[in-house]
Amino acid sequence: MERVFIGSEALAAGRITRHDLRHHCVRVLPGVYASKTITLTIEDRAIATWLWSRRRGVITGLAAAALLGARWVDDDIPVDLNFDNNKAPPGVRVHRDLLLSHETQSVGGLTVTSAARTALDLARSGTVREAVARLDALARATRVTADEVSELARSHPNLRGVRRVAEALDLMDPGAESHPESWLRLLYIEAGFPRPQTQIPVPRQDVDGNFYLDMGWDDVMVASEYEGDDHRLDPVTAREDITRLEYIQSQGWTVIRVVAKMPRTEILRRIRLVWPARAR
C-alpha cells in the first residue's frame, strides 16, 4: 500500500478493503488517506494535497522546496498549491498565480514549481530573514542562482511581493548548512560587519583535504561557527570538533562559537572584542 493514496482508487483496485480503510487508515484530506502506522512528513502531505486536487494542482512554496531537496522544512506547515478551487481544506493554501510552462517540473510523479520559480515564491514571502534562510537551503539543494531567479522575476512584474525579491536574493548564500547559520550571517551583516564568506577552507597538513569554517573573514582570520546539539550530545562528534578547532586555531584563526539561544548582544560583543585587534 502507498503511504498516501486516494481511497476510492485503492478500493477499486482491490489494494485495500473497506474494513482496512475504516480501521487501519486515517483521512489526510477529503478522499485521501494514509496508514495509521506512519507519521506524515511534509513530502507525504504534499502528495496528499496533489492527490486531493485530482493530480491537477502544482505544489509550490516551502512544500515544493522540500520536494526539491531543501532541508529544514517543518512537517506541519501549510502546503501551498497552485489550483483553481475556492474550498481548500485545512492545511492547504490555494493560489492562482500565473505559472509559465518552464516554471514547473515533475518530482516523483508530482507536479511542482521549478527551483527558480520556487525560489521566486520563497523570496517574496515572510520576513527577509525567513526568506533568506529558506533560499539558502533551496540553493544548497538545487544550486539555483540569484541570476536565474532575477530573470524569472522580470517575467512577473505584477506578482505580489516581487519588489522585495532582489533584497532577499542579494543575501542568499548556498554555503549555509542550516537556518541558524543563515540567521547568524545576517546578524553580522545587519550589525555592520563586512559580508562573511561561507565554507572557508582551511588546508590540512596531516592529510589531503581541508577543514571548513561555517563563515568568516579571511583577511582578518576571524571566523564564526554555529554549533548544534550534535556537537554537545554526540561524544564522537565532540572529540572530533575539539581536535578540528585546535588545528584551525593553530593556523592563526580566531573562532567565535555560537550556540542556540545565545543573546544577539553577547554574540556581537564577542566578535567585536576580537575584530579590532585582528584588523590592526
Read off the pLDDT of residues 238-248 as tens digits, 9 standing for 90 and up: 788 888 999 99
Q: Please, which pLDDT band fits residue 38 given cuts at 50, 70 and 90?
A: very high
Average pLDDT for the chain: 94
Residue of 85, 113, 98 lying closest to 160 (CA atoms): 98
Q: Which three cell numbers stand for residue 132?
A: 533568506
For residue 154, what is its C-alpha cell? Answer: 522580470
- Domains of the chain, by residue range, sit at 1-38, 54-171, 179-279
Q: Output b/e per residue, 184-202; b: 16+ Cβ within 10 A.
A: bbbbbeeeebeebbbbbeb
Determine which helix (DSSP H) or strand (DSSP E) holds 223, and give its type and residue range.
Answer: strand 222-227
Residue type, 84: D
pLDDT band at 231 (very low <50, low <70, confident <90, very high): low
d(CA 140, CA 132): 12
- The pTM of this model reads 0.92
pLDDT tens, residue by residue, 140-150: 999 999 999 99
pLDDT of residue 276: 75
Asked if the 179-279 domain carries CATH number 3.40.50, the reply is no
